[in-house]
Amino acid sequence: MSKVQSVIAYIGLGSNLDNPTQQVESALQELTALTHSTLLAHSSLYKTRPVGPQNQPYYINAVASLATTLDAEELLDQLQAIEQTHRRVRGTERWGPRTLDLDLLIFGEATIDTPRLRVPHPEMADRAFVLLPLSEIAPIGMDIPGMGRLQDMLRIQSGEGVERLD
């Protein structure tokens, strides 16, 4: 019997509807209950301007790290199940308001490009609201597969519109 190897995954969390701070904090608690996974760390919460349509409330964002023996699509299934418990509605408006958004940002050293899942998250290098909280919990010198060093990406981001909450 072979032992299943654990992978470190990073999850982006965001909400801007129905008490966003509570939505994100609740989702962080729910991540502790994922099967075959252990929550390792999570960042501070950040208040951020919305991407896309600006006629929506500010977001609360965070990043969490998990050790998991699930494969990437199994983990995605569990993340989407958490979104559903938070009444996530997937509308036609891209970057529209939502009660909870859980994005699989990084899955170990894997590069995944399927119709259902792209990892590392293809837009993370352009999003200070992902990079800043990720930098709180990621190892120093982290290299994101196919994208480069986290610290190099952070230098490019101004961090404008991203406020760390206490």
| Catalytically active residues, by annotation | 88, 98, 101, 103
Instruction: Give every CB contact of residue 162 below 8 A, 6+ residues apart in sequence.
Output: 46, 47, 48, 49, 61, 128, 129, 132
Q: Pull the structure tokens for residue 31.
A: 């991540």
Please answer whether residues 98 and 60 qualify as being in contact, where contact means their C-beta atoms are separated by less than 8 angstroms.
Answer: no
Buried b (16+ CB within 10 A) or exposed e, 70-87: bebeebbebbeebbeebe
**Structure tokens belonging to residue 90:** 């997937």
